[in-house]
């Protein structure tokens, strides 16, 4: 049963939350009215009995609420924290750093309040599941590479697919690609695959282990590359939880030398879960003003969340004459361009035909640009002495 603790001097707000118990939120409510005094003592009072959700406010100074949230996140990360205050951009930025799960206005409609509390309780349940699973010994040996774009049409999937195929050519059997565009994923089309299973099957399999996960991977003909495919429908994609994604990536990184992630455009909770696991973040956008501004927002979010992945910046359609120069883009993003993809009609054609350019047109300028990205992560041919992966492997010579 969900348990909610309110740190607030408002009995009226407590009554509003209690009314929610007849709706989507189930559990009991406790209110701590005295929120003065030592922060550590108050944190102990609020988290005693391990509630699922702690709501800070109304009636607490915002600075004090965020200090409390940071302490709870440090000591009890399995507890979801909600701040009850007016959700301004400044408070949101500071709240993200403090580990706050959500912000809701004190006078928010009951339907919104119900949604926020219900979502926070669900997040707490998934976090507890992850913490229990983390007790199981795991050895991460593979390199997780997430490809990120601020909006659709940036060339994200083409880059992810060509990167995965290029790495698989050099490290056959030791590369996997995960399609985390759960609503509109297109990796299967880009690789001309008809999968029997998707990540939805993994999510509904119960407790996920490596043996089970292997069953749900789709091998590319030849066995060089393995794919964890996106769901068949957006409705199925909506049901995928962050805990499933985190667990799948943990397992894949034990089995494969490289795990490539094609994320959804922008930043959602599933994408953020993947980015937290990533060793490398490959950022891609084109030369349009909207794409560059969107990428600036993505970079700001990554900075706020202090994600540790090494960043590699790829500019798509780098030869476009649209009023921006490459120097303008670098200055706006405060990020050096690591790779430049030229405009080419071959890219959409290859995506339609399901033949990645690094295979089908390897000598063209755009394919060579994709291979430059591959070179950033792999500097030589397959080394058969390296362990990991499964299936048949090609040997040179």
Q: Which helix (H) or strand (E) is 311 found in, with range?
A: strand 310-316
Looking at domain 143-377, its CATH architecture is 3-Layer(aba) Sandwich (3.40)
pLDDT band at 134 (very low <50, low <70, confident <90, very high): very low
Q: What is the pLDDT of residues 92-112, one digit of tens each?
A: 878 877 888 888 898 888 888
Q: For the domain with range 2-134, which CATH number is right: 3.40.50.2300, 3.40.190.10, 3.40.50.300, 3.30.1600.10?
A: 3.40.50.2300
Mean pLDDT for 299-317 is 90
Q: What is the pLDDT of residues 1-37, one digit of tens each?
A: 458 888 888 888 888 888 876 654 556 888 888 888 8
How confident is the prediction for the chain on average, in pLDDT?
Answer: 85
pLDDT at 396 > cutoff 60: no
Cβ-count burial 320-342 (b if 16+ within 10 Å, e if not): eeeebeeeebeeebebeeebebb
Domain boundaries, the chain: 2-134, 143-377
Give the 3-state secondary structure of residue 262. strand
**What pLDDT, on the 0 to 100 scale, is given for residue 185?**
92
**What pLDDT, on the 0 to 100 scale, is given for residue 126?**
62
Q: How far is it, in rounded angstroms, from Cα 279 to Cα 51? A: 33
pLDDT band at 129 (very low <50, low <70, confident <90, very high): low
- Give the percent of the chain with pLDDT over 90: 45
Is the fold of 2-134 the same as that of 143-377? yes
Q: At what angle do helices 62-75 and 39-47 cross, to 10 degrees?
A: 60
Beta pairing class for 225-228 and 218-219: antiparallel
pLDDT at 130 > cutoff 60: no
CB-based contact 156:147 (threshold 8 Å): yes
- Start-end of H helices in 76-219: 89-97, 110-134, 156-170, 187-190, 199-203, 210-215
Q: What is the pLDDT of residues 178-225, one digit of tens each?
A: 999 999 999 999 999 999 999 998 888 777 888 889 989 999 988 899
**What pLDDT, on the 0 to 100 scale, is given for residue 25?**
52
């Amino acid at each position: 049963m969900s348990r909610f603790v309110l740190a607030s001097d408002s009995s009226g707000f407590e009554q509003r939350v209690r009314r929610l118990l007849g709706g989507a939120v189930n559990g009991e409510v406790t209110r701590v009215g005295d929120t003065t005094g030592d922060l550590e003592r108050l944190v102990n009072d609020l988290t005693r009995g391990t509630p699922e959700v702690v709501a800070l406010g109304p009636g607490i100074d915002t600075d004090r609420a965020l200090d409390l949230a940071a302490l709870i996140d440090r000591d009890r990360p399995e507890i979801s924290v909600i701040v009850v205050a007016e959700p301004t951009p400044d408070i949101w930025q500071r709240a993200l750093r403090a580990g706050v799960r959500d912000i809701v206005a004190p006078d928010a409609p009951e339907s919104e309040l119900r949604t926020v509390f219900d979502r926070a309780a669900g997040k707490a349940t998934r976090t507890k599941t992850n913490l229990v699973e983390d007790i199981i010994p795991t050895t991460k040996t593979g390199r997780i590479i997430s490809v990120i774009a601020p909006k659709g049409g940036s060339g994200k999937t083409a880059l992810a697919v060509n990167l995965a195929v290029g790495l698989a050519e050099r490290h056959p059997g030791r590369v996997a690609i995960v399609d985390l565009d759960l609503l509109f994923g297109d990796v299967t089309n880009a690789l001309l695959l008809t999968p029997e299973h998707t990540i939805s099957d993994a999510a509904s399999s119960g407790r996920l282990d490596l043996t089970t996960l292997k069953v749900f991977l789709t091998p590319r003909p030849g066995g060089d590359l393995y794919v964890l495919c996106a769901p068949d429908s957006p409705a199925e994609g909506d049901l995928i939880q962050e805990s499933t994604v985190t667990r799948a990536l943990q397992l894949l990184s034990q089995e494969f030398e490289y795990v490539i992630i094609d994320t959804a455009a922008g930043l959602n909770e599933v994408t953020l879960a993947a980015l937290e696991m990533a060793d490398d973040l490959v950022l891609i956008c084109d030369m349009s003003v909207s794409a560059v501004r969107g990428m600036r927002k993505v970079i700001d979010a990554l900075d706020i969340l202090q994600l540790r992945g090494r960043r590699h910046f790829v500019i798509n359609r780098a030869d476009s004459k649209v009023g921006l120069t490459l120097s303008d883009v670098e200055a706006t993003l405060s990020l050096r361009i690591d790779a430049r993809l030229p405009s080419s009609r071959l890219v959409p054609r290859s995506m339609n035909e399901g033949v990645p350019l690094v295979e089908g047109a390897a000598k063209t300028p755009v394919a060579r640009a994709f291979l430059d990205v591959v070179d950033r992560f792999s500097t030589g041919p397959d080394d058969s002495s390296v362990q990991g992966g499964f299936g048949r492997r090609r040997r040179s010579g």
